[in-house]
Structure 1
Protein backbone atom coordinates (compact mmCIF):
# COMPACT_ATOMS: atom_id res chain seq x y z
CA UNK A 1 0.00 0.00 0.00
CA UNK A 2 1.43 3.34 -1.06
CA UNK A 3 1.73 6.03 1.56
CA UNK A 4 0.06 9.29 0.60
CA UNK A 5 2.70 11.91 -0.16
CA UNK A 6 2.49 15.36 1.36
CA UNK A 7 3.06 18.38 -0.88
CA UNK A 8 3.73 21.83 0.54
CA UNK A 9 2.73 24.62 -1.85
CA UNK A 10 4.44 27.81 -0.73
CA UNK A 11 2.80 30.89 -2.23
CA UNK A 12 -0.49 29.09 -2.78
CA UNK A 13 -2.62 32.21 -3.32
CA UNK A 14 -0.67 33.56 -6.29
CA UNK A 15 -2.04 32.85 -9.77
CA UNK A 16 0.32 29.93 -10.33
CA UNK A 17 0.08 28.69 -6.74
CA UNK A 18 -3.72 28.66 -6.95
CA UNK A 19 -3.70 26.83 -10.29
CA UNK A 20 -1.20 24.23 -9.05
CA UNK A 21 -3.09 23.71 -5.77
CA UNK A 22 -6.43 23.16 -7.51
CA UNK A 23 -4.98 20.82 -10.12
CA UNK A 24 -3.01 18.64 -7.68
CA UNK A 25 -6.09 18.32 -5.44
CA UNK A 26 -7.29 15.80 -8.04
CA UNK A 27 -4.48 13.45 -7.04
CA UNK A 28 -4.05 11.26 -3.98
CA UNK A 29 -1.93 13.75 -2.06
CA UNK A 30 -2.05 15.61 1.20
CA UNK A 31 -1.73 19.30 0.36
CA UNK A 32 -0.27 21.83 2.79
CA UNK A 33 -1.02 25.33 1.54
CA UNK A 34 0.89 28.37 2.74
CA UNK A 35 0.53 32.05 1.89
CA UNK A 36 0.99 35.27 3.83
CA UNK A 37 -2.50 36.24 2.59
CA UNK A 38 -4.47 34.36 5.25
CA UNK A 39 -8.01 35.20 4.12
CA UNK A 40 -7.30 34.31 0.50
CA UNK A 41 -5.69 31.08 1.68
CA UNK A 42 -8.77 30.02 3.63
CA UNK A 43 -10.95 30.87 0.62
CA UNK A 44 -8.72 28.77 -1.66
CA UNK A 45 -8.89 25.80 0.70
CA UNK A 46 -12.71 26.10 0.76
CA UNK A 47 -12.85 26.26 -3.05
CA UNK A 48 -10.72 23.13 -3.33
CA UNK A 49 -12.92 21.24 -0.86
CA UNK A 50 -15.99 22.24 -2.89
CA UNK A 51 -14.40 21.16 -6.18
CA UNK A 52 -12.88 17.99 -4.74
CA UNK A 53 -14.76 16.91 -1.58
CA UNK A 54 -12.35 14.04 -0.92
CA UNK A 55 -9.24 16.24 -1.19
CA UNK A 56 -6.89 16.27 1.80
CA UNK A 57 -6.12 20.00 2.13
CA UNK A 58 -4.65 21.77 5.14
CA UNK A 59 -3.83 25.45 5.59
CA UNK A 60 -0.42 26.07 7.13
CA UNK A 61 0.59 29.18 9.07
CA UNK A 62 4.34 28.87 8.43
CA UNK A 63 6.43 27.95 5.36
CA UNK A 64 9.02 26.21 7.54
CA UNK A 65 6.44 24.02 9.28
CA UNK A 66 4.75 23.16 5.98
CA UNK A 67 8.07 22.24 4.41
CA UNK A 68 9.08 20.18 7.45
CA UNK A 69 5.96 18.04 7.10
CA UNK A 70 6.19 17.73 3.31
CA UNK A 71 7.75 15.13 1.06
CA UNK A 72 7.65 17.54 -1.88
CA UNK A 73 7.93 21.33 -1.68
CA UNK A 74 6.68 23.59 -4.48
CA UNK A 75 7.98 27.15 -4.35
CA UNK A 76 5.17 28.90 -6.20
CA UNK A 77 6.70 32.31 -5.64
CA UNK A 78 8.34 34.96 -7.84
CA UNK A 79 12.08 34.73 -8.43
CA UNK A 80 12.64 37.75 -6.16
CA UNK A 81 11.24 35.82 -3.17
CA UNK A 82 13.26 32.67 -3.77
CA UNK A 83 16.34 33.47 -1.70
CA UNK A 84 14.44 34.54 1.43
CA UNK A 85 12.20 31.47 1.34
CA UNK A 86 15.13 29.14 0.75
CA UNK A 87 16.66 30.46 3.95
CA UNK A 88 13.47 29.64 5.86
CA UNK A 89 13.19 26.07 4.63
CA UNK A 90 16.86 25.07 4.25
CA UNK A 91 17.06 23.07 7.48
CA UNK A 92 13.87 21.12 6.80
CA UNK A 93 14.30 20.49 3.06
CA UNK A 94 17.23 18.05 3.20
CA UNK A 95 16.90 15.22 0.66
CA UNK A 96 13.44 16.46 -0.31
CA UNK A 97 12.20 17.33 -3.78
CA UNK A 98 11.90 21.10 -4.16
CA UNK A 99 10.19 22.32 -7.33
CA UNK A 100 11.28 25.64 -8.80
CA UNK A 101 8.61 27.27 -10.96
CA UNK A 102 10.17 30.75 -10.96
CA UNK A 103 11.16 32.57 -14.13
CA UNK A 104 13.68 35.39 -13.51
CA UNK A 105 12.00 37.96 -15.77
CA UNK A 106 12.87 41.63 -15.80
CA UNK A 107 10.18 44.26 -15.29
CA UNK A 108 9.72 44.93 -19.00
CA UNK A 109 9.57 41.25 -20.08
CA UNK A 110 12.34 41.71 -22.63
CA UNK A 111 15.04 39.79 -20.80
CA UNK A 112 16.07 37.72 -17.81
CA UNK A 113 17.77 39.16 -14.74
CA UNK A 114 19.98 36.08 -14.36
CA UNK A 115 23.34 35.71 -16.12
CA UNK A 116 23.44 33.41 -19.20
CA UNK A 117 25.47 30.79 -17.33
CA UNK A 118 22.88 30.18 -14.61
CA UNK A 119 19.15 29.96 -13.95
CA UNK A 120 16.66 30.48 -11.13
CA UNK A 121 16.61 26.70 -10.55
CA UNK A 122 20.40 26.39 -10.44
CA UNK A 123 20.58 29.28 -7.99
CA UNK A 124 17.99 27.54 -5.82
CA UNK A 125 20.15 24.39 -5.88
CA UNK A 126 23.07 26.45 -4.53
CA UNK A 127 20.82 27.83 -1.78
CA UNK A 128 19.51 24.33 -0.94
CA UNK A 129 22.54 22.09 -1.63
CA UNK A 130 21.05 19.02 0.06
CA UNK A 131 17.67 19.19 -1.70
CA UNK A 132 16.65 17.65 -5.02
CA UNK A 133 15.78 20.67 -7.14
CA UNK A 134 13.51 20.08 -10.14
CA UNK A 135 12.39 22.73 -12.61
CA UNK A 136 8.71 22.23 -13.44
CA UNK A 137 5.48 24.12 -14.15
CA UNK A 138 7.61 27.03 -15.40
CA UNK A 139 6.79 26.81 -19.10
CA UNK A 140 2.99 26.95 -18.75
CA UNK A 141 0.66 29.82 -17.89
CA UNK A 142 -1.72 29.74 -14.91
CA UNK A 143 -4.74 29.72 -17.25
CA UNK A 144 -3.45 26.55 -18.93
CA UNK A 145 -4.13 24.48 -15.80
CA UNK A 146 -7.88 24.91 -16.25
CA UNK A 147 -7.54 24.20 -19.98
CA UNK A 148 -4.40 22.11 -20.64
CA UNK A 149 -5.81 20.94 -23.99
CA UNK A 150 -5.44 23.87 -26.40
CA UNK A 151 -6.61 23.61 -30.02
CA UNK A 152 -7.21 19.88 -29.44
CA UNK A 153 -3.61 19.32 -28.32
CA UNK A 154 -2.45 18.64 -24.77
CA UNK A 155 0.13 21.24 -23.78
CA UNK A 156 3.61 19.95 -23.00
CA UNK A 157 5.19 20.84 -19.67
CA UNK A 158 8.96 20.59 -19.49
CA UNK A 159 10.91 19.28 -16.52
CA UNK A 160 14.62 19.52 -15.73
CA UNK A 161 16.64 18.06 -12.88
CA UNK A 162 19.69 16.01 -11.95
CA UNK A 163 18.01 13.37 -9.75
CA UNK A 164 16.31 10.61 -11.76
CA UNK A 165 13.99 9.50 -8.96
CA UNK A 166 12.86 13.08 -8.32
CA UNK A 167 12.18 13.58 -12.03
CA UNK A 168 9.91 10.54 -12.09
CA UNK A 169 7.93 11.83 -9.10
CA UNK A 170 7.52 15.25 -10.70
CA UNK A 171 6.51 13.70 -14.04
CA UNK A 172 3.56 12.17 -12.22
CA UNK A 173 2.60 15.55 -10.70
CA UNK A 174 2.70 17.18 -14.12
CA UNK A 175 0.48 14.44 -15.55
CA UNK A 176 -2.07 14.81 -12.74
CA UNK A 177 -2.12 18.56 -13.42
CA UNK A 178 -3.24 17.72 -16.96
CA UNK A 179 -0.09 18.31 -18.99
CA UNK A 180 2.12 16.05 -21.07
CA UNK A 181 5.38 15.83 -19.12
CA UNK A 182 8.65 16.03 -21.06
CA UNK A 183 11.95 15.57 -19.23
CA UNK A 184 14.22 18.03 -21.02
CA UNK A 185 17.45 17.10 -19.26
CA UNK A 186 19.58 18.01 -16.26
CA UNK A 187 19.06 21.09 -14.12
CA UNK A 188 21.29 23.16 -16.41
CA UNK A 189 18.57 22.85 -19.10
CA UNK A 190 16.39 25.08 -16.90
CA UNK A 191 18.28 28.01 -18.46
CA UNK A 192 16.63 27.12 -21.77
CA UNK A 193 13.24 26.51 -20.16
CA UNK A 194 13.26 29.91 -18.45
CA UNK A 195 14.13 31.56 -21.79
CA UNK A 196 11.30 29.61 -23.46
CA UNK A 197 8.85 31.10 -20.97
CA UNK A 198 10.18 34.59 -21.62
CA UNK A 199 9.58 34.02 -25.35
CA UNK A 200 6.08 32.64 -24.74
CA UNK A 201 5.20 35.73 -22.68
CA UNK A 202 6.54 38.01 -25.41
CA UNK A 203 4.50 36.14 -28.04
CA UNK A 204 1.42 36.31 -25.82
CA UNK A 205 1.77 40.07 -25.56
CA UNK A 206 2.40 40.49 -29.29
CA UNK A 207 -0.35 38.21 -30.57
CA UNK A 208 -2.86 38.47 -27.71
CA UNK A 209 -3.17 34.80 -26.79
CA UNK A 210 -5.07 35.90 -23.66
CA UNK A 211 -2.55 33.95 -21.50
CA UNK A 212 -3.90 30.66 -22.84
CA UNK A 213 -0.94 29.30 -24.78
CA UNK A 214 1.68 26.63 -24.44
CA UNK A 215 4.47 24.71 -26.10
CA UNK A 216 3.92 21.51 -28.09
CA UNK A 217 6.59 19.22 -29.51
CA UNK A 218 5.25 17.72 -32.73
CA UNK A 219 6.84 14.43 -33.76
CA UNK A 220 6.18 11.10 -35.48
Structure 2
Protein backbone atom coordinates (compact mmCIF):
# COMPACT_ATOMS: atom_id res chain seq x y z
CA UNK A 1 0.00 0.00 0.00
CA UNK A 2 1.37 3.39 -1.01
CA UNK A 3 0.47 6.40 1.09
CA UNK A 4 -0.87 9.66 -0.27
CA UNK A 5 0.81 13.00 0.32
CA UNK A 6 -0.28 15.30 3.14
CA UNK A 7 -2.60 17.88 1.61
CA UNK A 8 -3.42 21.23 3.15
CA UNK A 9 -4.11 23.43 0.12
CA UNK A 10 -5.73 22.56 -3.22
CA UNK A 11 -5.66 24.89 -6.21
CA UNK A 12 -8.49 24.37 -8.69
CA UNK A 13 -7.47 26.00 -11.97
CA UNK A 14 -10.59 26.70 -13.93
CA UNK A 15 -12.33 27.00 -10.60
CA UNK A 16 -14.81 29.50 -11.98
CA UNK A 17 -16.30 26.81 -14.26
CA UNK A 18 -19.09 24.47 -13.14
CA UNK A 19 -16.97 21.34 -12.60
CA UNK A 20 -14.19 23.24 -10.84
CA UNK A 21 -16.61 25.07 -8.55
CA UNK A 22 -18.37 21.84 -7.63
CA UNK A 23 -15.15 20.05 -6.70
CA UNK A 24 -13.87 23.09 -4.80
CA UNK A 25 -17.10 23.30 -2.81
CA UNK A 26 -16.88 19.66 -1.74
CA UNK A 27 -13.21 19.88 -0.76
CA UNK A 28 -13.66 23.11 1.17
CA UNK A 29 -16.48 21.48 3.13
CA UNK A 30 -14.11 18.59 3.90
CA UNK A 31 -11.70 21.04 5.56
CA UNK A 32 -9.11 21.75 2.89
CA UNK A 33 -7.99 25.25 2.04
CA UNK A 34 -9.14 25.63 -1.58
CA UNK A 35 -7.97 28.33 -3.99
CA UNK A 36 -10.02 28.96 -7.11
CA UNK A 37 -7.63 29.84 -9.91
CA UNK A 38 -8.65 31.83 -12.95
CA UNK A 39 -7.37 34.12 -15.69
CA UNK A 40 -9.39 37.00 -14.20
CA UNK A 41 -8.75 37.78 -10.53
CA UNK A 42 -12.04 39.57 -9.88
CA UNK A 43 -14.01 36.68 -11.36
CA UNK A 44 -12.08 34.13 -9.29
CA UNK A 45 -12.66 36.10 -6.09
CA UNK A 46 -16.36 36.51 -6.88
CA UNK A 47 -16.71 32.75 -7.48
CA UNK A 48 -14.94 32.03 -4.18
CA UNK A 49 -17.25 34.41 -2.32
CA UNK A 50 -20.33 32.70 -3.79
CA UNK A 51 -19.06 29.31 -2.59
CA UNK A 52 -18.27 30.62 0.89
CA UNK A 53 -21.92 31.60 1.22
CA UNK A 54 -22.87 27.92 0.91
CA UNK A 55 -20.46 26.81 3.64
CA UNK A 56 -20.01 27.56 7.31
CA UNK A 57 -17.80 30.40 8.52
CA UNK A 58 -14.69 28.24 9.09
CA UNK A 59 -14.48 27.07 5.46
CA UNK A 60 -11.39 28.38 3.70
CA UNK A 61 -11.89 29.16 0.05
CA UNK A 62 -10.33 32.04 -1.86
CA UNK A 63 -9.69 33.26 -5.39
CA UNK A 64 -6.41 34.00 -7.18
CA UNK A 65 -4.82 34.13 -10.60
CA UNK A 66 -3.87 30.68 -11.88
CA UNK A 67 -0.13 30.96 -11.29
CA UNK A 68 -0.51 32.36 -7.76
CA UNK A 69 -3.02 29.64 -6.92
CA UNK A 70 -0.69 26.88 -8.15
CA UNK A 71 2.27 28.33 -6.25
CA UNK A 72 0.40 28.14 -2.94
CA UNK A 73 -1.00 24.64 -3.36
CA UNK A 74 0.14 21.13 -2.48
CA UNK A 75 -2.07 19.64 -5.20
CA UNK A 76 -3.22 21.37 -8.37
CA UNK A 77 -6.45 20.38 -10.13
CA UNK A 78 -6.80 21.36 -13.79
CA UNK A 79 -10.49 21.79 -14.59
CA UNK A 80 -10.39 23.94 -17.72
CA UNK A 81 -11.92 23.25 -21.15
CA UNK A 82 -9.87 21.06 -23.47
CA UNK A 83 -8.94 24.03 -25.66
CA UNK A 84 -7.22 25.70 -22.69
CA UNK A 85 -5.59 22.60 -21.17
CA UNK A 86 -2.04 22.86 -22.50
CA UNK A 87 -1.79 26.64 -22.37
CA UNK A 88 -2.98 26.76 -18.75
CA UNK A 89 -0.64 23.98 -17.62
CA UNK A 90 2.36 25.55 -19.35
CA UNK A 91 1.51 28.96 -17.88
CA UNK A 92 1.79 27.55 -14.33
CA UNK A 93 4.57 25.07 -15.11
CA UNK A 94 7.08 26.77 -12.78
CA UNK A 95 4.75 26.08 -9.84
CA UNK A 96 4.18 22.40 -10.67
CA UNK A 97 7.64 20.94 -10.09
CA UNK A 98 7.56 18.16 -7.51
CA UNK A 99 3.76 18.42 -7.14
CA UNK A 100 0.71 16.43 -8.20
CA UNK A 101 -1.47 17.71 -11.02
CA UNK A 102 -4.92 16.13 -11.25
CA UNK A 103 -6.29 16.70 -14.73
CA UNK A 104 -10.05 16.68 -15.24
CA UNK A 105 -9.77 17.55 -18.94
CA UNK A 106 -12.07 15.90 -21.44
CA UNK A 107 -11.30 16.36 -25.14
CA UNK A 108 -14.85 17.18 -26.20
CA UNK A 109 -15.08 18.48 -29.75
CA UNK A 110 -18.16 20.70 -30.34
CA UNK A 111 -20.75 20.52 -31.67
CA UNK A 112 -20.95 16.72 -31.38
CA UNK A 113 -19.86 16.42 -27.76
CA UNK A 114 -21.85 13.20 -27.39
CA UNK A 115 -19.46 11.49 -29.85
CA UNK A 116 -16.10 10.32 -28.48
CA UNK A 117 -13.30 12.16 -30.29
CA UNK A 118 -9.80 11.87 -28.85
CA UNK A 119 -7.53 13.71 -31.28
CA UNK A 120 -4.02 12.35 -30.86
CA UNK A 121 -5.03 9.92 -28.09
CA UNK A 122 -5.37 10.66 -24.37
CA UNK A 123 -5.28 14.38 -23.57
CA UNK A 124 -3.98 13.68 -20.06
CA UNK A 125 -1.20 11.36 -21.23
CA UNK A 126 -0.14 14.03 -23.72
CA UNK A 127 0.00 16.57 -20.90
CA UNK A 128 2.29 14.32 -18.83
CA UNK A 129 4.64 14.00 -21.80
CA UNK A 130 4.80 17.79 -22.20
CA UNK A 131 5.33 18.53 -18.49
CA UNK A 132 7.91 15.80 -17.96
CA UNK A 133 8.72 13.59 -15.00
CA UNK A 134 9.03 16.47 -12.49
CA UNK A 135 5.22 16.61 -12.34
CA UNK A 136 3.04 13.63 -11.35
CA UNK A 137 -0.05 13.89 -13.55
CA UNK A 138 -3.25 12.04 -12.61
CA UNK A 139 -6.37 11.58 -14.70
CA UNK A 140 -9.55 11.71 -12.59
CA UNK A 141 -13.03 13.23 -12.04
CA UNK A 142 -13.91 13.54 -15.75
CA UNK A 143 -17.15 11.61 -15.39
CA UNK A 144 -18.64 13.20 -12.27
CA UNK A 145 -21.63 15.46 -12.81
CA UNK A 146 -21.10 19.13 -11.98
CA UNK A 147 -24.87 19.29 -11.44
CA UNK A 148 -24.62 16.97 -8.42
CA UNK A 149 -21.29 18.25 -7.10
CA UNK A 150 -22.92 21.64 -6.54
CA UNK A 151 -25.69 20.13 -4.40
CA UNK A 152 -24.13 19.40 -1.02
CA UNK A 153 -27.27 17.55 0.14
CA UNK A 154 -27.02 15.09 -2.73
CA UNK A 155 -25.24 11.73 -2.27
CA UNK A 156 -23.56 11.31 -5.65
CA UNK A 157 -24.25 7.95 -7.29
CA UNK A 158 -21.03 7.87 -9.30
CA UNK A 159 -17.49 6.53 -8.90
CA UNK A 160 -14.22 8.28 -9.78
CA UNK A 161 -11.93 6.44 -12.21
CA UNK A 162 -8.28 7.27 -11.51
CA UNK A 163 -5.37 6.65 -13.90
CA UNK A 164 -1.78 7.50 -13.00
CA UNK A 165 1.78 6.27 -13.42
CA UNK A 166 2.81 7.53 -9.97
CA UNK A 167 1.54 5.42 -7.05
CA UNK A 168 1.51 8.18 -4.45
CA UNK A 169 -0.27 10.56 -6.80
CA UNK A 170 -2.93 7.97 -7.57
CA UNK A 171 -3.57 7.33 -3.88
CA UNK A 172 -3.82 11.08 -3.27
CA UNK A 173 -6.58 11.24 -5.88
CA UNK A 174 -8.39 8.40 -4.08
CA UNK A 175 -8.21 10.44 -0.87
CA UNK A 176 -9.62 13.53 -2.59
CA UNK A 177 -12.42 11.51 -4.17
CA UNK A 178 -13.42 10.24 -0.73
CA UNK A 179 -13.21 13.76 0.72
CA UNK A 180 -15.70 14.86 -1.94
CA UNK A 181 -18.10 12.08 -0.91
CA UNK A 182 -17.17 9.75 -3.79
CA UNK A 183 -15.52 6.36 -4.23
CA UNK A 184 -12.24 6.49 -6.12
CA UNK A 185 -10.94 3.46 -8.02
CA UNK A 186 -7.38 2.90 -9.22
CA UNK A 187 -7.67 2.05 -12.91
CA UNK A 188 -4.06 1.47 -13.92
CA UNK A 189 -1.53 3.64 -15.76
CA UNK A 190 -2.11 7.02 -17.31
CA UNK A 191 -2.40 5.36 -20.72
CA UNK A 192 -5.77 3.95 -19.62
CA UNK A 193 -7.10 7.49 -19.44
CA UNK A 194 -7.80 7.06 -23.15
CA UNK A 195 -10.82 5.03 -22.03
CA UNK A 196 -11.99 7.21 -19.13
CA UNK A 197 -11.82 10.41 -21.19
CA UNK A 198 -13.98 8.86 -23.89
CA UNK A 199 -16.61 7.82 -21.34
CA UNK A 200 -17.66 11.45 -20.89
CA UNK A 201 -19.09 11.61 -24.42
CA UNK A 202 -20.85 8.31 -23.77
CA UNK A 203 -22.45 9.72 -20.61
CA UNK A 204 -23.53 12.88 -22.44
CA UNK A 205 -25.21 10.67 -25.05
CA UNK A 206 -27.04 8.78 -22.28
CA UNK A 207 -28.12 12.05 -20.64
CA UNK A 208 -29.59 13.28 -23.91
CA UNK A 209 -31.24 9.99 -24.84
CA UNK A 210 -32.91 9.49 -21.47
CA UNK A 211 -33.40 13.17 -20.59
CA UNK A 212 -31.42 13.09 -17.33
CA UNK A 213 -28.80 15.62 -16.12
CA UNK A 214 -26.15 13.35 -14.65
CA UNK A 215 -25.61 9.75 -15.72
CA UNK A 216 -22.62 8.23 -13.91
CA UNK A 217 -20.34 5.21 -13.71
CA UNK A 218 -20.30 2.59 -10.95
CA UNK A 219 -17.67 -0.14 -10.43
CA UNK A 220 -19.15 -3.36 -9.05
CA UNK A 221 -17.70 -6.59 -7.75
CA UNK A 222 -14.84 -5.02 -5.76
CA UNK A 223 -15.17 -4.73 -1.96
CA UNK A 224 -15.27 -1.16 -0.66
CA UNK A 225 -12.00 -0.33 1.05
CA UNK A 226 -10.00 -2.68 -1.17
CA UNK A 227 -7.44 0.04 -1.94
Given the superposition, is the C-alpha separation of residues 193 and 113 from structure 1 closer, same or farther in structure 2, using an over 3 Å criterion? closer
Tell me what 1:19 maps to: 22
1:52 Cα shift?
A: 2.9
- Note the alpha carbon deviations across 1:104-130, whole angstroms, 9 max, x for none: 011112231423xx2111011022112
Give the match's secondary structure for 1:169.
helix
TM-score, normalised on structure 2? Answer: 0.86
Structure 1 unaligned residues grouped into runs of 5+:
none
For residues 78 and 164 of structure 1, what CA distance do their matches in structure 2 show? 26
Given the superposition, is the C-alpha separation of residues 52 and 213 from structure 1 closer, same or farther in structure 2, using an over 3 Å criterion? farther
Q: Say which of 112, 123, 127 aligns to 1:120.
A: 123
TM-score, normalised on structure 1? Answer: 0.89
Tell me what 2:68 maps to: 65
Tell me what 1:214 maps to: 216
Q: Say which of 74, 98, 101 aligns to 2:101.
A: 98
Alignment of 1:172-191 (within 5 A): 172-191=175-194
Aligned pair count reads 212
1:168 Cα shift?
A: 1.0
Aligned-pair Cα RMSD in Å:
1.9
- Note the alpha carbon deviations across 1:64-95, whole angstroms, 9 max, x for none: 12111211001110111011112111122012
Given the superposition, is the C-alpha separation of residues 120 and 156 from structure 1 closer, same or farther in structure 2, using an over 3 Å criterion? same
- Note the alpha carbon deviations across 1:155-180, whole angstroms, 9 max, x for none: 21111101111111111111111111
Given the superposition, is the C-alpha separation of residues 148 and 124 from structure 1 closer, same or farther in structure 2, using an over 3 Å criterion? farther
Q: Say which of 157, 160, 164 aligns to 1:161.
A: 164
Given the superposition, is the C-alpha separation of residues 35 and 196 from structure 1 closer, same or farther in structure 2, using an over 3 Å criterion? same
For residues 218 and 82 of structure 1, what CA distance do their matches in structure 2 show? 32
Structure 2 unaligned residues grouped into runs of 5+:
223-227
Tell me what 1:200 maps to: 203
For residues 4 and 83 of structure 1, what CA distance do their matches in structure 2 show? 25
1:36 Cα shift?
A: 3.0
